[in-house]
Structure 1
């Protein structure tokens, strides 16, 4: 039987791309209506899983994936300006306790997942780490964990925590609006010079990561470059919503299309126990928030958001539309994210070596 011509293959690829885009738009829209955090990213991941299970994978250009990681790092840098670190230094003992306690709780639960033979050690730790979910998922892949299962744990926790936070913000703090779901100004004017510079710096971070393969890859290099650009050179990091959405699509499709039927079956078997473990983590963190309320006289919603093990980006969205001490919340979340970036690889290796489950990913 003759091989399909180039035109036929191109037409087939175009059809698959059209299907992936349509499915992503549908899922992202539904998730946005349900007020799910990061609907574009989650929609892209689910769409990627669907096309992968249907053996209709679409090749996502590696250059776009690397650039998206660099831009994500720059987005984290934009959320960590110098005033955040000033807030950290003002209450350093509180932040040290808060950051350390949540990380220790997360690592302890990850260790138990490995000891119970539910997940390989490195995968269990990266899936349990608090911080920005996308950052943890990408870093997990850089350090040998199973990105698919890490993504399942991270985004499941994001949805659980964000849902509880929105309820708490409404009941306890009187949120001004549904957090993080104000109308996005997609076509707002953009500083062309700043956008060009931001894209150039992100591209350089991606190129350097491709060339030298440092730990953490383009994400960490983009974060470092963003800090230098914003806090040293005094330049604005310009990331319009449509650019962040495009980066989210590249990241989500790449992650989602790594799933296969064996991983899905394994994930469904794990789901009840993962829900129980993640619920326990959220409950313990809520207990730590109660201690902040009692010892430091911090208002309950501020303490809850500060100690939440959800993604820093989701917490930022809710804090911005609630009656809370936003600098305190973001200082705690940012400090924890930076701590995980610093110690995460070493902790994951240590647990992987000492857990009884071999670190190979699920096949």
Structure 2
């Protein structure tokens, strides 16, 4: 136990160094990307070991869900509903492009179709891994390919969005801080209840630790119930914990194991990101959404990261998280049935 705590403290210290460095350099998502970077560099040291706490990760997911939920207003629902059909169509096109490209990869390299297609799905990691087991894919390679996509999304999209919409950044940060209305401290009990409901629903609701607190907080916000505002330090610690979790879970050894496959799936991730940006501009052109919100809503993965990025570049994090939730539910609820049908077709 003492060894675990010592290693956990060392891991958090290294992650915090990365967070402070990213903050000092004014880089995007400093308390998520900073720890990921510093821990990956640390892992290059021989015999370097890191660890992460599952309990802290669960609490942190819920805290960030609360943070995103607190940005919702009554106008969010009326804004999102008209965009559901065009957004879903663009999301399905993005998924189709991903699966089609992954199929082409199997024509160029010796890789089974099941593993390639599952490794290319833009989001829903836990669901994808479960599908890999049920469809007899190579789960190790699927995990690595999904990790490559995750790393590409985490680093490319926030940096790109920050530079594309940089002129709007300062204006938004001030606006977000002014939106918060502090409620009585006892309402903090509602956040605790939301966390435990999220824990109870983990088996049935995808990403329940984020979605359940987010939806409960959003419902209270929409009904204009003043909630206790968590201190900024709680949100920063939650982001640090997620950064530590990601940095700990990404293995340099696994990336080496995948070898040349990594390059193909990195190129696929970049193609998806570029296409999602193009779809985002198209989406913003026939809706009332600003470009930042539309682009980040269609980005392939990371509901929390995309919502936080939206908050820093004058996007609307409530709309981004609402639409990203639809993308996640599409992948979790619809895609498994489609893949089951597709794999049967490919076998004949």
TM-score, length of structure 1 as denominator length: 0.68
2:159 matched to which residue of 1? Answer: 163
Deviation at 1:313, TM superposition (A): 1.6
2:212 matched to which residue of 1? Answer: 221
- Give distance in 1, aligned partners of 2:189 and 2:309: 28
Conserved? CA contact 1:148–1:255, under 8 Å: no
Deviation at 1:251, TM superposition (A): 3.0
1:48-72 deviations in Å (ceiling 9; x for gaps) = 5545983534351x33222223333
Deviation at 1:22, TM superposition (A): 2.2
Conserved? CA contact 1:77–1:224, under 8 Å: yes
1:279 matched to 2:270 = yes
Higher helix share: 2
1:95-134 deviations in Å (ceiling 9; x for gaps) = 5324421442144314533663575544421xx24xxxxx
Q: How does 1:195-274 map to 2 (within 5 A)?
A: 196-209=188-201, 213-216=203-206, 217-232=208-223, 234-236=225-227, 238-266=229-257, 269-274=260-265
1:311-354 deviations in Å (ceiling 9; x for gaps) = 5324422442xxxxx56x863x3442131232221344246544
2:307 aligns with one of 299, 304, 313: 313
- Give distance in 2, aligned partners of 1:175 and 1:236: 28
Unaligned runs of 5+ in 2: 133-138
1:84 matched to which residue of 2? Answer: 76
Unaligned runs of 5+ in 1: 1-8, 130-135, 321-325, 357-363
Q: CA RMSD in A?
A: 4.2
1:323 matched to which residue of 2? Answer: none
Conserved? CA contact 1:162–1:314, under 8 Å: no
2:98 matched to which residue of 1? Answer: 109
1:42 matched to which residue of 2? Answer: 33
1:342 matched to which residue of 2? Answer: 329
- Give distance in 2, aligned partners of 1:334 and 1:256: 23
Conserved? CA contact 1:65–1:250, under 8 Å: yes
How many residue pairs get matched? 319
1:163-205 deviations in Å (ceiling 9; x for gaps) = 22233224xxx4364986x8x99xx997671673254224323
1:27 matched to which residue of 2? Answer: 18
1:58 matched to 2:51 = yes
Q: How does 1:107-146 map to 2 (within 5 A)?
A: 107-113=96-102, 116-117=105-106, 119-125=115-121, 128-129=122-123, 136=124
1:207-255 deviations in Å (ceiling 9; x for gaps) = 4247xx3232423332343334333582426333211222233333334
1:39-97 deviations in Å (ceiling 9; x for gaps) = 2123334455545983534351x3322222333333332233331111234xx2x5532
SS in 1 for 2:249: coil
Conserved? CA contact 1:305–1:319, under 8 Å: no
- Give distance in 1, aligned partners of 2:156 and 2:259: 17
